[in-house]
Chains A and B, each alone.
Chain A
Amino acid sequence: MNSSANHRPLAAHALCKSFDATVALDDFNLEVESGSLLTVLGPSGVGKTTALRILAGFEMPDSGTVRVNGQTVNGPGIFVPPERRQVGMVFQDYALFPHLNVARNVAFGLDAHHRELRVSQVLEMVGLAGFEKRMPHELSAGQQQRVALARALAPGPQVILADEPFSNLDAALRKRLRAEVRSILREARTTTIMVTHDQEEALAVSDQLALMNEGRVVQTGPPDHVYRNPATSWVAEFLGDADFFDAHAKGGRITTPFGTFPTTRSGKVKVMVRPESVTVFPHAQGVAVVTYREFFGHDQLLSVKLPGKITLRARCWPQPALAPGDRVAVSVDGIHIFDEPQAPPAPPETPPGTPLPQRVVIPR
């Protein structure tokens, strides 16, 4: 463990948690930098919410430690209850107190000292000044969410945890609100850990991503870095469209039907291609055949079949209008190589800086 963890607003180390027979967390590690927004992203049922609830103090881990601003709140023989953790929480259902008005909801975590000042301060911050006397049921879903955020921000916690904060909103509102919430959090300079299963949302708002699968964090890093350099094929596939095929690396290169790529590996490897890096041209002697086309207006998605039972998808300009059966030439803007299928998933500790397969550009 590195000593900088002591100064993180929040750090979790080697958390394990099982419910009866099911393992929810299996060696879960997470650190968040001060003032940043970290998103824990993963499919449903991988233990994201369990992790968050342990960090908040609502669940006890079977083992592992949690530290808030260097202070151990979970550890051997130590359990600090939620009310003494200085960790704020924004709930999926907002959990506004229905019998208290907006001002009293927001003031709930404050002591009498400067209470009113602080309430109007945070309500101002979330754009709800003047709503003090409203009851929760008189607010729209978006307003309720901002009250929940204001309530969590008000006591000035070390870190705010948010469990799927946008999942209760309709699609249009969700996009608008996540931008708003992002800027509120920036303005408040709050450290935030958010949990979601929505890739687009995670990529759009996060400073840092932590990808989670099967009870552990598989990869962390800035969104664009993780998207471009997935540590495992699972990460690659979870974050966006990807096609895979097996290939053989020999003498520092991989030969594919669409060109030859340099590599440092040898032996059996797994090659990943993202649809947006594939370009196709109509070509009578092309090696590939279009098998399927979906037209989206702003672009089209083509499925092409190459020799060696390789199928790639290409996301490209809507022109030219290709039809199934057309012969095409294929050029690929970059591939990604994994040691799989034999290799186990990368260890969770893998920091983003470890050597990853290189991106290559084929010579045209």
Chain B
Amino acid sequence: MGVARPAPRLRALPPNTWWWVLAGVVMLPAAAPLGVLAYGLVSGVVTTVPMARLLELAANTGALGAAVTSTSLLIGGASAWLVSRTDLPGKKLATVLVLTPFAVPSFVGALALLGATGADGILSTAWAWMGGDVIRYPSGFWAAWLVLTLISVPLVHLAVAPAVRSLNPTLEEAARGLGAGRLKVFWTVTLPQLRPSLTAGALLVGLYTLSDFGAVSLLRYDTFTRAIYLEYAGRVDRRPALGLAAVLAAVAVLLVWLERGTRTRGVWFTARPRRTGSPVRLGLGGKILGWGFLGTLVTVSLLVPVAVLIAWVMRGLISGVLVNQPWAELGRSMWVALLTALVAGVVVAPVAMVTTRYRNRWAGLLEGGAWALYGVPHIAVGMAMIVFTLWLARPLYQTLVLLVGVYVVMFLPQILGPSRDSLGRVSPSMEEASRSLGRSPLRTFMGITLPLMAPGLLSGAALVFLTTLRELPATLLLRPAGFETLAIRVWSATGEGFYTQGALAGLLLLLVAALPLAIVTRHELIR
């Protein structure tokens, strides 16, 4: 061999190892709450809760879940059918209006109900003024059912509408041709086609009801989430609360698992492009009936709650009781949400890189890690992290670092999805082109990958920001002492009966979180 010029000697390192290291470090914290909850389940901590109490909570939670799921399936299914399958005028507007209540946090919904029909409530006052009897404080099963159903209808609508749109009309026509009547066709042909999406919608609602803390705690209905908080707040012994949290988490994980199963089947049912049927023609009566239904729904789930909040604020302004305005809380909420969105945006990059670019066991594990806390009720995560920090990471207990860290881990799927979508459109050959044009991996990432990933990263960060603003149970358990956010303000003011204070904070929350959230997700919602 001839004499070659001295070659640069570099350690042979597979080019992308660093992404793996980073992604692994990022996902490690997700293991903490899961580990504690799993420990809670197997270590016998659960037995610190009397069996009778467990059964009572299970029965209560199950009853609420079943009631909310079945009614929201009926209402959401009907609204999806009206909007997706008929020639009802103004369908776009109807879709937006029907879906918007999903952005209303359940504790704001509960506040609206209490503010309307509770002691001194807007409607109760009007009722009494008209000579009606005094209305009992709305609480318990029916109150929780009403609030959670109204918020869950959009979930069902979202799950079912695409399936309704892609119903194969030839099947129905074939059944009609074989002599089946409309009703029989609906039961034997249409409904089976919709079953996967209905199941998916039902499981989503079930999961939501199971996880809800805001409404059940304010409306005093005894489910797992409320019981966990009461155990936590009322005792020094953390074990019963942890035991309940572990049981709740296990049930939730089971529901998530079921939901994932239906999701793949649902894809099979709806993915193939088909001729879509011409919309069902509604007569004038049908149109009036349809809009009457949607109008009532929107009025009850959106207009009345907002009106009630506004009325309470006006009342407060007029009577001069509206002191102690929640501007500090607003600022605190905004900046902690901003911080969370920022951290999530930084942290998600390596996870998105690895899970988009590699299809192997480790990538699967990482992705699983990112989704691990998806569906685990936030109150359970909060409880687990309290126990974790008390046992193993005392300096982190009730710190902002912990709070933001838990937010990031819980909300990571929200930013991971859009980031991966936009990263998926960046061909790896673009990065390779940049490398072969002399740019180092870091400069390639900054110059090519990051700018191309930015849209997804931004919309994901916006989602995380808005979700953090609305988050109640984890904040309640993990916040530093005295760190009162807007959501906590709404919740605590409502719980103490200060509806005026709660209403102003609630309206602010709707303005800064719910409205933007409805706008951000609108593109995905409608389609």
Contact = CB atoms under 8 A, between A and B. Distances in A.
A85 B439 CA distance: 11
Contacts of B10: 78-81
A71 B436 contact: no
B182 to A, nearest CB: 49
Interface stretch (B91-99, B247-255, B323-331, B427-435): B427-435
A89 B433 contact: yes
A92 B429 contact: yes
Contacts of B440: 81, 83
B432 A79 contact: no
B1 interface: yes
Interface string A50-76: 000000111010000001001111010
Contacts of B438: 83-84, 109, 155
A81 B15 contact: yes
Nearest to B433: A95
A79 B12 contact: yes
A84 B8 contact: yes
A93 B425 CA distance: 13
A83 B8 contact: no
Among A60, A87, A97, A155, which residue has the most Cβ atoms of chain B within 10 A?
A97
A99 interface: yes
Nearest to B454: A99
Interface in B271-298: none
Interface in B335-358: none
A82 B429 CA distance: 13
B436 A60 contact: no
A58 B432 contact: yes
Interface string A37-61: 0000000000000000000111010
Interface string A230-262: 000000000000000000000000000000000
B436 A83 contact: yes
B2 A3 contact: yes
B452 A99 contact: yes
Contacts of B437: 83, 88, 108-109, 151-152, 155
A346 to B, nearest CB: 25
B14 interface: yes
A72 B4 contact: yes
Nearest to B430: A95
B140 to A, nearest CB: 56
B1 A1 contact: yes
Given A56-B436, A60-B14, A78 B9 contact: yes
Given A58-B435, A83-B436, A87-B436, A6 B4 contact: yes
Contacts of B435: 57-58, 81-83
B12 A78 contact: yes
B454 to A, nearest CB: 9
Contacts of B427: 93, 95
B439 A70 contact: no
B4 A60 contact: no
B7 A72 contact: yes
A56 B435 CA distance: 9
A34 to B, nearest CB: 16
Interface residues of A, number: 38
Contacts of B4: 6, 67, 70-72
Given A78-B10, A81-B15, A97 B448 contact: yes
Contact of B436 (A57, A79, A99): A57
A83 B7 CA distance: 15
B51 interface: no
Contacts of B441: 81
A131 interface: no
A355 interface: no
B430 A71 contact: no
A82 B448 contact: no
A207 B14 CA distance: 34
A91 B427 CA distance: 11
B255 to A, nearest CB: 37
B13 A79 contact: yes
Contact of A151 (B14, B432, B433): B433
A57 B5 CA distance: 19
Contact of B439 (A72, A83, A99): A83
Contacts of A79: 10-13
B234 interface: no
Nearest to B4: A70
Nearest to A107: B437
A363 to B, nearest CB: 51
Contact of B434 (A6, A72, A108): A108
B436 A80 contact: no
Contacts of A85: 436
B451 interface: yes
Nearest to A84: B8
Given A91-B432, A99-B451, A71 B7 contact: yes
Interface string A96-121: 11110000000011000000000000
B432 A82 contact: yes
A6 B2 CA distance: 7
A92 B15 CA distance: 21
Contact of A97 (B11, B12, B430, B436): B430
A77 interface: yes
Contacts of B432: 56, 58, 82, 89, 91, 95
Contacts of A81: 10, 15, 435, 440-441
Given A78-B9, A83-B438, A95-B430, A6 B1 contact: yes
Contact of A3 (B1, B11, B14): B1
A77 B12 CA distance: 6
Contacts of B452: 97-99
Most-contacted residue by chain B among A67, A83, A84, A85 (CB, 10 A): A83
A82 B434 CA distance: 9
Nearest to B432: A58
Contacts of B447: 108
B41 to A, nearest CB: 38
A12 to B, nearest CB: 15
A84 B10 CA distance: 11
A317 B356 CA distance: 57
Contacts of A97: 430, 433-434, 448, 452
Nearest to B440: A83
Contact of B5 (A58, A71, A80, A83): A71
Nearest to B425: A98
A108 B436 CA distance: 10
22 contacts: A56-B436, A57-B436, A58-B15, A70-B5, A73-B7, A77-B9, A79-B13, A80-B7, A81-B15, A82-B432, A82-B435, A83-B438, A91-B429, A92-B429, A93-B427, A96-B430, A108-B439, A109-B436, A109-B437, A151-B433, A151-B437, A152-B437
Instruction: Enumerate the 6 nearest inter-chain pairs by beta-carbon distance, A residue then B residue, closest first.
Output: A109-B437, A95-B429, A82-B435, A79-B12, A3-B2, A95-B433
Given A58-B432, A78-B12, A83-B440, 19 more contacts: A3-B2, A6-B1, A6-B2, A71-B5, A78-B8, A80-B7, A80-B10, A82-B435, A88-B437, A89-B436, A91-B432, A93-B427, A95-B433, A108-B434, A108-B437, A108-B447, A109-B436, A109-B439, A152-B437
Interface of A: 1, 3, 6, 56-58, 60, 67, 70-73, 75, 77-85, 87-89, 91-93, 95-99, 108-109, 151-152, 155
